[in-house]
Amino acid sequence: MKYYVKSVVPMIESNYDNFTVVEKTIADFFIRNRKRMDFSAKSVAEMLYVSEASLSRFAKKCGYRGYREFVYQYEETFVEKQESMTGNTRMILNVYQELLNKTYNLVDELQIARIGRYLNQSDRVVVCGIGSSGLTAEEMEFRFMRIGVDIDSVKDADLMRMRAVFQDRESLVVGISISGEKEDVLYLLKESHRRGARTVLLTAKNKGIFEEFCDEIVLIPSLRHLNHGNVISPQFPILVMIDIIYSYYVEQDKFAKELLHDNTLRALEEGRGRRRHGLE
């Protein structure tokens, strides 16, 4: 069984908000379709009551040279999915597998390597998010702190605006917003970028405006189009991407970073041992 399948669907979902009404009709069809059929421009145009020119514009917004290239990828990697799931456990596992497959399609390894270099080159790192994204920011702080990164997580909106004042060319700012619409997260990224800091945004929405103040836009899978997205933690796709960034960063001077990790683990164990024996 192949766990990871190349698919155009994650790219459609990431660009969904950039589509016109007609293009969203086309997008909805390709996202929801589960059957093999005639995907020629003429056939699809007639079925959806759209023009062949609309199909071409849609394909180009998804990053393809035209509809022919888009549909070739769609047909080549089309996988029939079984909708009949036995039990909640199987349903949850299937959804998580789908999210992992979407991550596989969205991840840009050259981009992740660049972010790893930014982490190495920065004197300090700030990672921010609101709500569940704030919890993943906190997790990122804890993990990277243990391997020697000077990193702080910020979950409070007012603190995000204040912290923007202190960023400069020695800083790296990571914003997490699945919707791409958290104003305070975007404010911190904009102001930090204006002051010379490197900026990275983790989001499920690919908006052209982000390129004006983000050095890297890391696309993560959206839960929006999943049949059972409401029972899946929105933190999951973010944590998967953070794990990928972490692995690339650790690979740079791996021995030193693993030593730091082991030392922090030893310090934690010693502290717990002293508390257990009433020495503190």
Binning pLDDT at 50, 70 and 90, where does residue 89 land?
confident
Least confident of 23-37, 93-107, 138-152, 248-262: 248-262
152-189 pLDDT, tens digit each: 999 999 999 999 999 999 999 999 999 899 999 999 99
Each residue's pLDDT tens digit, 100-129: 988 999 999 999 999 999 999 999 999 999
- The rounded mean pLDDT for the chain is 86
pTM of the model: 0.71
**CATH 3.40.50.300 is right for the domain spanning 9-76:** no
| Ordered alpha helix ranges (H), 177-232 | 183-194
64 to each of 176, 218, 223, 227, how far by Cα in Å? Answer: 27, 19, 24, 27
Among 215, 255, 48, 224, CA closest to 118: 215
Burial class (CB in 10 A: 0-12, 13-18, 19+), 73: middle
> Could you tell me the CATH superfamily of domain 107-267?
Glucose-6-phosphate isomerase like protein; domain 1 (3.40.50.10490)
CB neighbour class for 12 (10 Å; exposed up to 12, middle 13-18, buried from 19): buried
Among residues 216, 218, 173, 205, which one has the least CA distance to residue 191?
Answer: 173
What does the pLDDT read at residue 50?
Answer: 94
CA distances from 222 to 94, 99, 207, 233, 241 (A): 15, 8, 14, 11, 13
Write out the H or E segment, with its range, that includes residue 198: strand 198-203
Is 222 within 8 Å of 12 (Cβ atoms)?
no
Rounded Cα distance between 196 and 169, Å, is: 5
Distance between CA atoms of 191 and 200, rounded to whole angstroms? 13
pLDDT of residue 96: 86
Q: Hey, where are the domains in the chain?
A: 9-76, 107-267
